[in-house]
Structure 1
Amino acid sequence: MRYFAKLQGQKEAVPVDIEPAGENRFKLTHGGKTFLVDALTLDHGAVSMLVDGTSYSVEFDEQGDEVLVSVRGQVNRIDVADERRLRLRAATAGFSVEGKQLISAPMPGKVVKVLVKQGDEVKEGQGLVVIEAMKMENELKSPKAGKVVELLAKEVTAVEINAKLVVVE
Structure 2
Amino acid sequence: MMFEILIGNDQHTVEVEKTDKGYKILIDNEESIIADAFFLKDDLLSIISNNKSYLVNLKNESRNYTVDLNGETFKLEVYEEGSTRRVKREKAGAQGKQTLKAPMPGKVVKLLVKEGDEVEAGDGLIIIEAMKMENELKASVKGVVKEINAEEGKTVNAGEPIIVIE
* Range of TM-score over shorter length: 0.5 to 0.7
For 1:138, the equivalent position in structure 2 comes to 135
* Amino acid corresponding to residue 48 of structure 2 in structure 1: L
For 2:8, the equivalent position in structure 1 comes to none
Q: Does structure 1 retain, via aligned residues, the 8 Å contact 2:97–2:141? A: no
For 2:113, the equivalent position in structure 1 comes to 116
For 1:5, the equivalent position in structure 2 comes to 13
Query: Is residue 48 of structure 2 the alignment partner of residue 36 of structure 1?
Result: yes
Question: For 1:104, which of 76, 101, 106 is the aligned residue?
Answer: 101
| DSSP 3-state at the match of 1:148 | strand
For 1:154, the equivalent position in structure 2 comes to 151
Looking at secondary structure, tell me which structure has more strand per residue: 2
Once residues 38 and 148 of structure 2 are traced to their aligned partners in structure 1, the CA distance between those partners, rounded to angstroms, is: 41
TM-score normalised by structure 2 residue count:
0.52
Task: Figure out how many residues of one structure are paired with residues of the other and give that number.
Answer: 109
The percentage of aligned residue pairs carrying the same residue is 40
* Amino acid corresponding to residue 153 of structure 1 in structure 2: A
TM-score normalised by structure 1 residue count:
0.51
**Structure 1 128/84 Cα, relative in aligned 2: closer, same or farther at 3 Å?**
farther
**Structure 1 146/84 Cα, relative in aligned 2: closer, same or farther at 3 Å?**
farther
Any runs of at least 4 consecutive aligned residues in structure 1 with deviations exceeding 3 A, and if so which?
2-7, 28-35, 84-96
Once residues 35 and 161 of structure 2 are traced to their aligned partners in structure 1, the CA distance between those partners, rounded to angstroms, is: 30
Note the aligned Cα RMSD (angstroms).
3.6
**Structure 1 6/99 Cα, relative in aligned 2: closer, same or farther at 3 Å?**
same
Once residues 85 and 114 of structure 1 are traced to their aligned partners in structure 2, the CA distance between those partners, rounded to angstroms, is: 28
Once residues 93 and 30 of structure 1 are traced to their aligned partners in structure 2, the CA distance between those partners, rounded to angstroms, is: 37
- Residue 160 of structure 1: how far off its partner (Å): 0.7
Once residues 97 and 78 of structure 2 are traced to their aligned partners in structure 1, the CA distance between those partners, rounded to angstroms, is: 19
In the alignment, structure 2 segments of 5+ residues that lack a partner are: 6-11, 16-24, 26-33, 40-45, 53-75
